[in-house]
């Protein structure tokens, strides 16, 4: 089984690529959804932060790097365990995909055979965060700056999909990437 990670910085289009790959018949795990589920009623998170509400936590951790590291120290081991469970459940598949926005930040890159990086221009990602998430400009920029710059991540990846056009172009680029990796 080939284990392939899908990653990219916030608002780059990872979910769109993940949906395209899924539409091709592949099994895809979304660790964002997994982390959100693991966050609900998490006693350690509630004890440290006083809440498990994602929006409240976002405001807390994205303005304080130490608190962000604390939240990650609670959630990352749980997410990693879920990824290994996903691998075990799907061990009969030729290839599985896991969307991991925090792949490098969490140090999960070493558990995958191949890595797809989804990239989009900074201004495009900023506009998406403001429009899609309803963030104000300052908070959107804070969220964008919370991740390692993609110029440090891309050299570690096996395929880069640049999401700078329409969905048809993105489907074509995703198909080309899969042909390269599989």
58 is in an annotated binding site: no
Return the CA Rg of the chain.
Answer: 16
173 is in an annotated binding site: no
Sheet holding 95-99, edge to edge: 27-30, 95-99, 2-7, 114-119, 159-162
Tell me: the pLDDT tens digits for 145-155?
Answer: 888 899 999 99
For residue 140, pLDDT over 90 is answered with yes
Phi-psi region of 91 (alpha: psi -120 to 50; beta: other; left: phi over 0): alpha
Rounded alpha-carbon distances, angstroms, from residue 182 to 103, 110, 146: 20, 19, 32
29 is in an annotated binding site: no
Q: Specify the pLDDT at position 63.
A: 84
Q: Specify the pLDDT at position 55.
A: 87
Residues counted in the chain: 182
Average pLDDT over residues 20-27: 98
Predicted TM-score (pTM) of the model is 0.93
Tell me: the pLDDT tens digits for 79-135?
Answer: 999 999 999 999 999 999 999 999 999 999 999 999 999 999 999 999 999 999 999
Confidence band (pLDDT; 50, 70, 90) for 59?
A: confident
16 is in an annotated binding site: yes
14 is in an annotated binding site: yes
DSSP state of 11: T
């Amino acid at each position: 089984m080939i284990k392939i990670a899908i990653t990219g910085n916030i608002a780059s289009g990872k979910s769109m690529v993940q949906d395209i790959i899924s539409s091709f018949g592949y099994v895809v795990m979304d660790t964002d959804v997994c982390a959100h589920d693991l966050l609900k009623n998490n006693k350690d998170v509630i004890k440290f932060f006083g809440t498990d509400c994602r929006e409240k936590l976002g405001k807390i951790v994205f303005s304080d790097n130490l608190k962000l590291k604390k939240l990650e120290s609670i959630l990352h081991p749980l997410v990693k365990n879920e990824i290994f469970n996903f691998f075990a459940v799907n061990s009969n598949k030729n290839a599985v995909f896991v969307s991991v926005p925090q792949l490098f930040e969490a140090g999960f890159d070493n558990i995958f055979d191949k890595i797809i990086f989804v990239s989009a221009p900074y201004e495009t990602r900023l506009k998406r965060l403001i429009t899609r998430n309803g963030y104000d400009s300052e908070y959107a920029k804070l969220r964008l700056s919370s991740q390692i710059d993609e110029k440090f991540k891309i050299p570690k990846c096996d395929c880069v999909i640049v999401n700078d056009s329409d969905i048809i172009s993105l489907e074509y680029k995703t198909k080309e990437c899969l042909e390269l990796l599989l």
